[in-house]
Structure 1
Amino acid sequence: MTVIPVIDLMQGQVVRGVGGHRSAYRPIVSRLCAGSEPVAVARALCAHCAASQLYVADLDALQGQAWQTDALRALLSALPDVELWLDGGFAEAADVLRLRAALGPSAERVVPVFGSESLASVEALTECFGSASPGEAILSLDRRGARRLDPAGCWDAVAQWPRRVIVMTLERVGSAAGPDLEVLSSLQAQAPLTQFIGAGGIRDQADLDRAREAGATAWLVASALHDGRLSRLPG
């Protein structure tokens, strides 16, 4: 089981995600580092997890504002051996190409995450994960409770899913409610060759063990790391 640390960026700071209610997010308070400056927080998380991947949610972009390109450039420069999995509210493949052009050469280490809440259409879904897609992109199947956040119909387009799919349970983000393994298992039954990555709800090592036994290949984690509920992880 791979733990992929997460930072949520809002107005140039790392904030604490709680339940997906982004208007209520506040600057992170962490046992791993002081302050909420993105590079400091990212370095502390990656060192704690011996991580070679960092998930970044650009909450400004997800709420219809401009990408936080300065913060993203700083992260890429400070973490030369880390791959950034970036959810930047991408509505179509062309959005990723525009962002990569703005970020410069280091953008080759940006892996785009296309969230079902952001993709504009079925046509955009096909383009993002077709032969002309911008690199080996990741799909995030987003939901809050029983409601799928999915205007493009991603959840039902199993044939269009890429090799890696994130199962994003927004109401469990920062909630310490435990991982939702039932949905993960149902998706695995539909696409047994897909690598599923969970998000939300991890409280401790026991939860990670349960997630691994349920078939998750990795899990996105933030709060349990910042709160000290997951000890330093081996490389």
Structure 2
Amino acid sequence: MNGHVVRGVAGERGKYRPVESVLTQSTDALKVAQAIHDELGLHQFYVADLDAILGTGSHRETVNDLTSAGFNVMLDAGISNVDSANRWINSNVQFVSGLETLTSWDDLRQLVSRCPDQEVVFSLDLKSGLPLGTLGIR
């Protein structure tokens, strides 16, 4: 958020703060990912571009830095349909399409069919056990 890796607080974005870690003093995504990789051997990361989700910006360069460094990225950037995915097609990321941002189930179907070479991950977004967004679950 605002260019920093943050620690989430129960989904309340106003309470998110830059991450604090014993692995690194940095809040830079690439440095944090590298520190986690060096310590734990992990190479796949879920990245929520909160600015993109909120419609206030994008951290495409940061995501590109992560994939260029060899990390696999599951990207949640408010991708809810083919139009919002276009800037990420062929970018070496797995799309995360969250219930919170979907406007229709058809949009999700079209996204999956339009991107056969990129995996689409569905995020079931819940708060207090209830689905977020306008679609609901049937």
- Structures share a fold, TM > 0.5? yes
Q: RMSD value over aligned CA atoms? A: 1.7
Q: What percent of counterpart residues are identical?
A: 34
Matches within 5 A, 1:1-235: 10-77=1-68, 79-80=69-70, 82-100=71-89, 107=91, 109-129=92-112, 131-133=113-115, 135-153=118-136, 155-156=137-138
Shift, 1:56, TM fit: 0.3
Q: Which residue in 2 is equivalent to 1:167?
A: none
Unaligned runs of 5+ in 2: none
Paired AA for residue 52 in structure 2: A
Moved more, 134-143 or 120-129: 120-129
Higher relative contact order (CA 8 A, sep 6+): 1
* TM-score (norm. length: structure 2): 0.88
Shift, 1:97, TM fit: 1.9
Moved more, 68-77 or 29-38: 68-77
Q: 1:31 to 1:118 in 2, by over 3 A?
A: same
Kept in 2: contact 1:46–1:54 (CA 8 A): no
Kept in 2: contact 1:125–1:152 (CA 8 A): no
* TM-score (norm. length: structure 1): 0.54
Residues of 2 paired with 1:118 and 1:49: CA distance? 32
Larger Rg computed on CA atoms: 1
Residues of 2 paired with 1:19 and 1:55: CA distance? 17
